[in-house]
Structure 1
Amino acid sequence: MEPLTFDYEDLHLRVDRGVFEQFGAGRSELRVPLRWLGALVHYRKPDRPGQLFIGTVRDLGAPLYGTDPGAFQYSTSPAFRVPAADEPLFRAYFAEVARIADRRVV
């Protein structure tokens, strides 16, 4: 199976053989097994872009992609904002990642 990738601005996300990897220009990299992965685009104000959080979840039964920042044990936040119109792109990618990992999304 080919790696599942997603590119957004200078962010590159990749899933291959049960491992999620995050790469960004000028940012640190992140490698996480899919069973621990958590991601979300969090919006503080409805009319403002959201912030992408990717990391590990406290509870392995938590959704892979969701809306609860408190679910994270560790997270990294790439230094860019996600406009509300682009959130469905992230949701679609992480929904496919969740399917591969046999996990759910909110």
Structure 2
Amino acid sequence: MEPPACDHKVFEHDRVHMRVGHGIVELFRRNRVISSYRAPLSWLKVRAEARRGGVTRLHFGHVEDLAEPIYASTTSSRHGVVTVEIQTTDEPLYRAFFTELAHLSDRPVAS
């Protein structure tokens, strides 16, 4: 059987490295301490929270409903399992990667 089309996708930008392989998404971020997040792609939820000072926070967590979009904007104070701060000008790069993953895994993406 052939692996899913979304296998072996890699995204690297600044201090963030994400990869998808065998239906699992992994996030690695380098700050003072290297930390990671790992989940099945079908469970992935990323919520973008615009902040002051040209910063956007990406909150990674797990969906409650498998029909939820992979990526969406949020104004909620509820946070995910892992949070990554990025420059707001870089947000379209991340959104494009999550949109690609959503299309390849038949998941929706919200604005």
Structure 1 regions of 5+ residues with no counterpart? none
**Equivalent of 2:68 in 58, 62, 67:** 62
Please, which of 84, 89, 96 is the counterpart of residue 88 of structure 2? 84
Q: Which amino acid aligns with 2:10?
A: T
How far off is 1:99 after superposition?
A: 1.3
TM-score, scaled to structure 1: 0.81
Instruction: Report whether the alignment pairs 1:99 with 2:103.
Output: yes
1:74 CA displacement:
4.2
The code of the aligned residue for 1:27 comes to: I
The answer to whether residue 36 in structure 2 is matched with residue 29 in structure 1 is yes
Structure with more of its chain in strand, by fraction:
2
Distance 1:73-1:88 versus aligned 2 partners, 3 A rule: closer
Unaligned runs of 5+ in 2: none
Match of 1:17 among 17, 22, 47: 22
Read off the aligned partner of 2:29 and give its amino acid letter.
Answer: G
Root-mean-square deviation (Å): 2.1
Contact 1:41 1:52 in 2 (8 A): yes
Rg larger for? 2
Give 4+ residue runs of structure 1 displaced > 4 Å after superposition.
none
- 3-state SS of the aligned residue for 2:42? coil
TM-score (norm 2): 0.78
The share of aligned pairs that are identical, in percent, is: 32
